[in-house]
Amino acid sequence: MIGILLNFILPQQAANEEEPVDAKKNFEHFVSETQVTPEIAEDLIDRAEAFKQGAKPEVATPYYAANLFFENSTRTHTSFEMAERKLGMTVIPFDPVHSSVTKGESLEDTLRALAAIGIQVAVIRHSQDNYYQPLIEANVPLHIVNAGDGAGQHPSQMMLDLMTIREEFGHFKGLHVASSVTWCTRGWHAPIWPCSLSWAPRSAFPGPRAGTPRTSSSMVTTCRWTT
């Protein structure tokens, strides 16, 4: 989480506080697994490992973040807030139940209101698939981090999965990955999405057995890294 959020802090610094981060590896928004190239994946994992070993970034300018969770969450919500605080960000509380969203305010208007008072990063979990696309097209004036959209994307979870794999095996080449999580959920996409990337596995078998309901949690998906 810290490595991801560090992308939105300017001037950019690497986790070791010595080497500047390549601007080409930075995101304006982090919303989809499709944004992650081999170089970006390795960079984010390297940053995360450096933080685990005690590296501390120096943030000279105050940064403000808000976590907009329209679905219940424990681990993702608290993980992002912990990461924000460890980076020295000020976290502005946001409770959807007591916000103007309940009066019909659109998500775009909510983000514009938050940006107007100085919030620069919005971490959002929402039940609507691809909720972020119209927001990006509308050029909302802050950075969006997708913490889960409906049955769609969960890019931070994917990065945690990739980091765990690299910590365990030290590489990705030739590895097999299996997932038994519920079919067609963002939890299914997170560990399996890299299987469809050209730089990762070259074969994937995402379909359930014939006659198996798409909602079955017994469906097992496998893929293999060949690069």
Q: Which of 29, 76, 166, 189 is flagged as catalytic? A: 76
- State yes or no: cis peptide before 194, omega within 30 of 0: no
Minimal CA–CA distance to 184: which of 212, 215, 219, 153?
215
Sheet of 221-225: strand order equals 176-179, 221-225, 201-205
Which of the residues 29, 47, 125, 126 is marked catalytic? 125
**From CA 166, how far away is CA 190, in angstroms rounded?**
15
Catalytic: 76?
yes
Q: Which of 143, 154, 186, 189 is catalytic?
A: 154
Q: Report whether 89 contacts 115 (CB < 8 A).
A: no
Distance CA 158, CA 191 (A): 5
Exposed e or buried b for every residue in 60-78, given b needs 16+ CB within 10 A? eeebbbbbbbbeeeeebbe
Q: What residues pair up with 178 in beta bridges, in sequence order?
A: 222
In the block, tokens 């919030």 appear at 119
Give the single-character DSSP code of 91.
Answer: E
Distance CA(48)–CA(15), nearest Å, equals 8
Catalytic residue, chosen from 24, 98, 103, 171, is 103
Query: Is 24 annotated in the active site?
Result: no
Catalytic residue among 24, 61, 74, 75: 75
| Residue type present at position 209 | R
Active site residue 154: yes
Q: Catalytic residue numbers?
A: 75-76, 103, 125, 154
